[in-house]
Amino acid sequence: MKNLLIHNGRLIDPASGIDGQFDIAVAGGKIAWIGDNQPPAGDYEVIDAAGQVVAPGFIDLHTHLRQPGFENKETIATGTRAAARGGFTTVCAMPNTSPAVDNRTVVDYVNCVAFGEAAVRVLQIGCVSKGRKGESLAEFGEMAAAGVIGFSDDGSSVPTSRLLKQAMEYAAGLGLPIIEHCEDASLADGGQVNEGIVATRLGLAGIPNAAEDAIVARDIALAKLTGARLHLCHISTRGAVDLIRQAKSDGVKVTAEVTPHHLTLTEELCLGYDTNAKVNPPLRTQTDIDALIEGLLDGAIDAIATDHAPHTANDKCCEFALAPFGISGLETALGSLLRLVHCGKLPLPLIIEKLTAAPARIIGKKHGVTGSLGVGDPADIVIFDPDAEWTVDPGKFASRGRNTPLAGERLKGKVTATICRGNTVYREGN
Ligand code: DOR
Ligand code: ZN
């Protein structure tokens, strides 16, 4: 591993309140020095970051790596290479694999593959219920001992309040959050897109905002009752943002994430029956987007996570109602989010905070992920050109999932290098 000197960039590290012209030296996989004068003596590979932003490596709280079981959609190797290209140095893998990650053996298996093949750090989320069936609790204690950062049946909500209460009591004892996909199954059943005018025009069943709001309200009530930590995935509705804001002011231990696609795309994208725009929760309306942005600004929404959900072309090449939900999101996250910066809706440092310090706080300290560039921190760094324009070409994705509704779109903002634990895991042009 070479020592690195990242020179001439605009350093933005929200955790330490830095936004300015500083150089960084990396040695032994750690941040060794930050300054604007002579670095400590040493033999450095110099990266010229003039005109670019240098920030802590992004942390994705919500990534589907699909291994074991769905290696045709993605593998730990391809998914983490996609992460590196997107500027992410840590991904939290969701457990809806086959077998599902509901016991220690599967956690160990994923860790083992990741150790040999992952380009970036892989943390794991274990299932809430055995086999994600929503019937009985998975092996919380042994999965916690194997290092999971929380528990989720993502893809569906925990179906009964009783099981969720029990899950929260165990999770609270282990100091870990319940990470919930918020969707009332009976309201969403058969739904393909957001319930409203677009669903009507397409002749498809809709998923109402209330499907999300109802579960958010239930989960908050149970978090209040049990004192457990609750993290809410991919929030997509105005109503949910209001409920979370209120719960926070009531002292409930709730955090929430939003995806780049729910922040930038509306339901109209489904009007051409593009199955690549079919995602769960569905793309909603501009009113919802405005509330999500407000939530990021006032802290109701803590973090941005991709919900990277790769599927094969075959999976998606079918009638809209038969296609699986999901967008391959790691490689377009930054460019999508910077649309909000370039049009003046969100400040760049806030977006970086939501991709670094905020998810690090949710994960907690014990995995060595700080989401910051403090001296002594692991050297997880992203370098990106906020003004570089490029055209989304899914054929060039490192991910096996080319399922994006952004194919052919121009995005402004491009990762040029990603460094994970001091290793350069992505460099533009390489
Ligand atoms: O769109 C989605 N795809 N939403 C989810 O909750 C699950 C995910 C998947 O696993 O494909
Ligand atoms: Zn989900």
Give the global pTM. 0.98
Question: In 3-state terms, what secondary structure has residue 86?
Answer: coil
Please give the structure tokens belonging to residue 370: 């700080």
Task: Give the CATH number of domain 56-367.
Answer: 3.20.20.140
- What residues contact 398, with CB distance under 8 A and at least 6 apart? 78, 81, 82, 84, 85, 331
Using alpha carbons, select from 206, 215, 265 the residue that is nearest to residue 240: 215
If one residue of 62, 64, 265 were mutated to test the ligand 1 pocket, choosing by the most ligand atoms within 8 A of its CB, it would be 64
- Ligand 1 pocket, 280 CB below 6 A? yes
211 bridge partner residues: none
Give the DSSP letter of residue 276. Answer: G
Break the chain into its structural domains and give their ranges: 4-53+378-427, 56-367
User: What is the side-by-side strand order in the sheet with 230-232?
Assistant: 178-180, 230-232, 254-258, 303-304
Q: Would you list the DSSP string of 308-360?
A: B----HHHHSS-GGGSPP-B--TTTHHHHHHHHHHTTSS-HHHHHHHHTHHHH
If one residue of 73, 74, 96 were mutated to test the ligand 1 pocket, choosing by the most ligand atoms within 8 A of its CB, it would be 96
pLDDT of residue 1: 77
Of all ligands present, the nearest one to the C-alpha of 231 is 2
Q: For residue 94, which atom of ligand 1 is closest to its CA? A: 10
Residue 354 CA, ligand 1 centroid: distance in Å: 21
pLDDT of residue 2: 87
- Ligand 1 pocket, 245 CB below 6 A? no
Burial class of 167 by CB neighbour count within 10 A (0 to 12, 13 to 18, 19+):
buried
Q: Whose CA is nearest to atom 4 of ligand 1?
A: 280
- Ligand 1 pocket, 261 CB below 6 A? no
Residue 192 CA, ligand 2 centroid: distance in Å: 14
Residue 350 CA, ligand 1 centroid: distance in Å: 26
Q: Is 307 a catalytic residue?
A: yes
- Ligand 1 pocket, 154 CB below 6 A? yes
Amino acid at 186: S
Query: How confident is the prediction along the chain (430 residues), in pLDDT tens digits per residue?
Result: 789 999 999 999 999 999 999 999 999 999 999 999 999 999 999 999 999 999 999 999 999 999 999 999 999 999 999 999 999 999 999 999 999 999 999 999 999 999 999 999 999 999 999 999 999 999 999 999 999 999 999 999 999 999 999 999 999 999 999 999 999 999 999 999 999 999 999 999 999 999 999 999 999 999 999 999 999 999 999 999 999 999 999 999 999 999 999 999 999 999 999 999 999 999 999 999 999 999 999 999 999 999 999 999 999 999 999 999 999 999 999 999 999 999 999 999 999 999 999 999 999 988 989 999 999 999 999 999 999 999 999 999 999 999 999 999 999 999 999 999 999 999 998 6
Measured at the CA of 345, the angle between CA 307 and CA 241, to 5 degrees, comes to 55
Determine which one of 23, 184, 288, 307 is catalytic.
307
pLDDT of residue 429: 85
Choosing among 3.40.50.2000, 3.30.465.10, 1.10.10.10, 2.30.40.10, the CATH entry for 4-53+378-427 is 2.30.40.10
Q: For residue 324, which atom of ligand 1 is closest to its CA? A: 11
